[in-house]
Amino acid sequence: MVLELARPRPIWQIMFSTHHTDVGLLYLVFSLLAMFVGGAMAIALRIELFAPGIQLIEDSMTYNRLFTAHGTTMIFLFLLPSAAAVGNYLVPIMVRYKDMAYPKLNAIAFWMIPPAAALVWLGMADFGWYANPPYSVISAPAPAAEMWIFGLKVLGVSSILSSINFVVTILKCKHPDLSLGKVPLLAWSFLTSSIIVLAAMPTFAAALLMLLTDRLGVSGFFNPAMGGDPIAYSHLFWFTFHPEVYVLVIPAIGMMYEIIPRFSRRPIFSHSSGVAAFIILALVSFASWAHHMFATGMSFTEKTVFMVGTLAAVPASAMHVFNFLATMWNGRIKFATPMMFAVGGIALFFAAGAGGVVNTAMPLDFITHDSYWVVGHFHLFVFGTIAFGTIGFVYYLFPYITGRMYNEKWGVVHFILAFVGACITFFTQHILGLFGMPRRIYDYPEIDSWISMNALISVGAMIILVGMVIFLGNMIYSMAKGKPANLEDPFGLGGKYYYPFAQRNPQHGEGGY
Amino acid sequence: MSKIFHLSIIIATLFIIPTISLAFAAETAGEYIDRKAEIWNLFFRMMTVAFVVGGVIAGTMVWQVWRFRESNPNSKPTEYEEKGEF
C-alpha cells in the first residue's frame, strides 16, 4: 500500500482491489470526506445558532434537514468507516494473516457505503438521526424519509458484513502460534465491537422495516392513530444505538492502546485488564439502552435496572484510563501529534464519562433530559474521544500510507485548536443545558445567558473548523511534498511496530511495495 | 477491609438512598416542587465529587505529561528501549 505516490497505480486498481490495505485506504478516504461534509453542516448549524433570529438558514425545515444529515453523516459515514479503515489496515497484520478472511465481502461492504451516503445526502430527511415516530411515520416528507430508511438499511448490512469479516479473521484466521491472550488490544477492540454490531444491528434493521411499512400505511407499529406505540420504536432504536456508542468508542480506545505504549516507549501496563474491560463494556452496552427514556414514564424498577446497568460501564472505562496512565508512568514520552491526540482524547473521555454519570442518575436525568447538556455530553464523546483517537491514528498511519511524513508543527497546531475548540464548544453546551436551553431547536428567545453561551459555542466550533482546515492542508501538502519517512521507524521511537507496508499487495507487482 | 466497608456505607448514604427516594418523588405529583430543590442539591453534591475526582485524575495526567516527557532533563531511557520490547 505504501508509497503509492512513489509507485503510482491507476486509481481503478485501488477501487476494485480486494486487498485489505486497499480497502482500508478506500474506507479512510471516504470517511475523511464524510467528516468534512458533516463538519460543514455542523458549521452551518452553529452559524444559525450564533444569535437569535435568522442568521443563515431561512427556515426550520432546512435546519432540521441539515442536523439530520449532520448526525447521520458523522456517525454512519465518518466514525464507523474510519474505524473500519484502521481495522482493515492492521487487524490482518496483527493476527498474522495474509488478508481479511473474506476479501471480496470486505470490498462489497465498503462499496455499499457510497450509494447509502448518496441516499442520505440527496434525500435530506428532517426527522433527526433517531427518525422518531410518530413524526417520522405521519408527517416526515417523502421521498426524503424513505431514502434515509433505505440508506440506513444498506449501511446496516455493510456493518454486519464488515463485522463478520473481522470476527472470522481474528478468531479463525489468526496464526496458530498466536493465542487470543496475545492478540494485540487493537485487534481485541475490533473483535468486541464487531460482536456488538452482530448482536445489536438486526434489531434496528427490524425497526427500520417496521417504520417503512408504517409509512406505507400497511402497518401501525409506531402510529398511535392505528394503536401503535412510538415508545416501542425508541426501545428498538436504543437497543441498537446505545451499544453502537461502544461500537464507536471501543475501536478508538483500541487505537489509543496502540499509540500510547509506542510513544511512551513502554509495553502496555496490563493487557489482560484491557481485554477484560473491552468484554465488560461489550456486555454492559446491552444493559443500558433505556436510560435514554427515563422521562417516558417507565416504572421505578425499570429505571433502577437501567441506571445500574449504565453505571456498570464506569469501572470498565476507568480500567482503560488507569491502564493508559500506568503505561505512561515512568515512560519517556514523545509528544508527536498522534500521542497528543491520544492523551487529549483520554482527558476528554474522562470528562464525557463524568457527564454521562449525571445523565444516568435517575433524578438528575430529569434536569438534563432533552437539553443542550445531552448535546454537549455526546459530542464530547464522539468528537473529544472517538474522533480524537481516530484523527491521532490517521497521523500515525500517514507515513505508512504515503511514505512521507506530515508536518509536525502544523499537526501540533491542529491538536491545540481541536482541543481548545472542543473544550469551549462542548463544556459550554453542558452549561447551556443547565440554563434550560432545549436541544433540536432552530431558534431561541433573547435570553442574555443563552445568547452569550450560544455565541461562545459557535466561536469554539469555528476554532475546530480552523484546526480541521489545517489538518486537510497538512495532509494534502505532505502527501505531495512531505519529507520521505523512515518506514522502519517513522517517529524515531525504536521498538517493534506493526508495519502495514510489509503486507504484500499483489497489485504492487514484483519488488513489493 | 473495614475501611472499604465504611466507605461503601458512606457512598450509599450520600448518593444511592437519596437517588432512590428522589426517583420515587418524580412519580409523586405532590412532592414535585420540594423535591426539585433537593434534586439540584444532589446535582451540586455529585458535581463536587465529580470535579474533585476529575481534578485528581486530570492533575495526575498533567503531571505525568510534564514529568515523563522526552525533553524533561530528568527523563531517562526506559528499561524496554534497549530490547525494543514495546
Q: Is the pLDDT of residue A510 over 60?
A: no
| CA dist., res. A5 & res. A385, Å (int) | 32
Which one, of A77, A74, A65, A80, lies nearest residue A131 by Cα?
A65
Q: How many domains does chain A divide into? A: 1
pLDDT band at A511 (very low <50, low <70, confident <90, very high): very low
Cβ <8 Å between A328 and B25? no
If you measure CA to CA, which chain B residue comes closest to A366? B26
Q: Is the pLDDT of residue A104 over 60?
A: yes
Which of A267, A325, A361 lies nearest to residue B61, judging by beta carbons? A325
Task: Put residue B85 in one of left, alpha, beta given phi > 0 → left and psi -120 to 50 → alpha.
Answer: beta
pLDDT band at A509 (very low <50, low <70, confident <90, very high): low
Cβ <8 Å between A333 and B69? yes
Is B78 within a domain?
no
Which of A328, A343, A367 lies nearest to residue B43, judging by beta carbons? A367
Q: Which one is predicted more confidently, A417 or B14? A: A417
Helix and strand counts by DSSP (H, E) for chain A: 20, 0
Grid cell locating A479: 502527501
Q: Is the pLDDT of residue B35 over 80?
A: no
pLDDT-above-70 percentage for chain A: 95
Map residue B65 onto helix, strand or coil.
Answer: helix
HEC string of A97-132 equals CCCCCCHHHHHHHHHCHHHHHHHHHHHCCCCCCCCC
Q: How many domains does chain B divide into? A: 1
pLDDT in tens, A248-293: 999 999 999 999 999 999 999 999 999 999 999 999 999 989 999 9
Q: Which residues pair with A404 in a beta bridge?
A: A484
Q: Is the pLDDT of residue A317 over 70?
A: yes
Which of B24, B47, B77 lies nearest to residue A332, judging by beta carbons? B77
| CA dist., res. A136 & res. A231, Å (int) | 13
CA A278 to chain centre: 16
| CA dist., res. B4 & res. B12, Å (int) | 12
Q: Which residues pair with A484 in a beta bridge?
A: A404
Q: Which one is predicted more confidently, A165 or A302? A: A165
Across B22-45, average pLDDT: 68
Structural contact between residues A289 and A238, judged by C-beta atoms closer than 8 angstroms: yes
Map residue B27 onto helix, strand or coil.
Answer: coil
If you measure CA to CA, which chain B residue comes closest to A295? B26
Cβ <8 Å between B80 and A333? no
Does B50 touch chain A if contact means CB atoms closer than 8 Å?
yes
Cβ <8 Å between A265 and B78? yes
Which of A266, A332, A362 lies nearest to residue B70, judging by beta carbons? A332
CB atoms within 10 A of CB A447: 14
Range of the domain at B39: 2-67
Structural contact between residues A464 and A418, judged by C-beta atoms closer than 8 angstroms: yes
Q: Is the pLDDT of residue A24 over 70?
A: yes
- Residue B30's pLDDT is 60
Q: Domain with A68 in it: what CATH number?
A: 1.20.210.10
Which one, of B40, B54, B7, B13, lies nearest residue A355 by Cα?
B54
Across A385-414, average pLDDT: 94
Structural contact between residues A422 and A348, judged by C-beta atoms closer than 8 angstroms: yes
Is A231 within a domain?
yes
Range of the domain at A271: 11-508
pLDDT band at A303 (very low <50, low <70, confident <90, very high): confident
Is A379 within a domain?
yes
Structural contact between residues A475 and A29, judged by C-beta atoms closer than 8 angstroms: no
Is A465 within a domain?
yes
**Distance to chain B for A224, nearest Cα, Å:** 24
This complex has an ipTM of 0.80
CA A152 to chain centre: 16
- Residue A512's pLDDT is 46
pLDDT band at A1 (very low <50, low <70, confident <90, very high): very low
DSSP state of A485: P
Is B79 within a domain?
no
Is A1 within a domain?
no
Cβ <8 Å between B80 and A495? yes
Q: A286-298 burial, b for 16+ CB within 10 Å, e for fewer?
A: ebbbbbbbbeeeb
Is A210 within a domain?
yes
Structural contact between residues A405 and A398, judged by C-beta atoms closer than 8 angstroms: yes
Phi, psi of A371 (to 5 degrees): -110, 180
Structural contact between residues A513 and A1, judged by C-beta atoms closer than 8 angstroms: yes
pLDDT in tens, A117-164: 999 999 999 999 999 899 999 999 999 999 999 999 999 999 999 999
Structural contact between residues A59 and A126, judged by C-beta atoms closer than 8 angstroms: no
Best of B21, B40, B51, B61 to disrupt the A interface (most A CBs within 10 Å) is B61
Which one, of A205, A239, A193, lies nearest residue A79 by Cα?
A193
